Chain A
Amino acid sequence: SQQGEEDPQALSIQEGENATMNCSYKTSINNLQWYRQNSGRGLVHLILIRSNEREKHSGRLRVTLDTSKKSSSLLITASRAADTASYFCATGGFQKLVFGTGTRLLVSP
């Protein structure tokens, strides 16, 4: 079964709005990563947050991590049409990453 579960499964917003997606996981982690996937093809790494961090920023991205609740959130501020994609959280060690089920984000102009 998947380690991570994202919600919502799908999110539709207007350009300029913020998008928040959440990820829950089941076991203890060293770090958690977020990836973006366009058009059902290759994934691109967005950001990593370590287990001893609570919040991290990268450009318009903000990630939070609550290890007590085994959850993380990804916030995209001032969204753009180009942000339309599926977003996945991933946990695991060097041997493999276990991906969540993903959130499909649609940003309309």
Chain B
Amino acid sequence: GAGVSQSPSNKVTEKGKDVELRCDPISGHTALYWYRQSLGQGLEFLIYFQGNSAPDKSGLPSDRFSAERTGGSVSTLTIQRTQQEDSAVYLCASSTMTSGGYNEQFFGPGTRLTVL
């Protein structure tokens, strides 16, 4: 079946512009996550959606970052007034609780954002 997809795969923007990154999770997965990975670094949690519950936004680095998930499926991560330090690969993952009660996340290929 189809995995997690993200678009665009690459985005180059100028400092100060807004960008939108899209994630299509695996059908039926109730949980959706956004992470950020700066060059040569580990993954930094940004936000988590679970069903119709209020999202966990504790990882968002500033109020320039926001995300929504429409209809419990597709998600959009928006960065307003981009800064050069926002340059990173933005990874989306989806998950569903297994019968064993653990959380295996399935990742998309990521969007590489470059802010000039």
Contact = CB atoms under 8 A, between A and B. Distances in A.
A45 interface: yes
Interface stretch (B60-68, B76-84, B99-107): B99-107
A33 B104 contact: yes
Interface in B95-116: 95, 97, 102-110
A103 to B, nearest CB: 11
Contacts of A97: 33, 45, 103, 105
Contacts of A99: 35, 42-43
Contacts of A45: 104-106
Kindly name the residue among A35, A95, A96, A101 whose own CB sees the greatest number of chain B CB atoms within 10 A: A96
B56 A42 contact: no
Nearest to B41: A101
A44 interface: yes
Main DSSP-derived SS at the A contact region: loop
Contacts of B48: 95-96
Contacts of A98: 45
A31 B33 CA distance: 19
Interface in A1-22: 2
Contacts of B89: 40-41
Interface of B: 4, 31, 33, 35, 37, 41-43, 45, 48, 50, 56, 59, 89, 91, 93, 95, 97, 102-110
13 contacts: A33-B102, A35-B107, A41-B109, A42-B107, A43-B93, A43-B105, A44-B107, A48-B102, A50-B102, A94-B50, A94-B97, A97-B105, A99-B42
Interface of A: 2, 30-31, 33, 35, 40-45, 48, 50, 88, 92-102
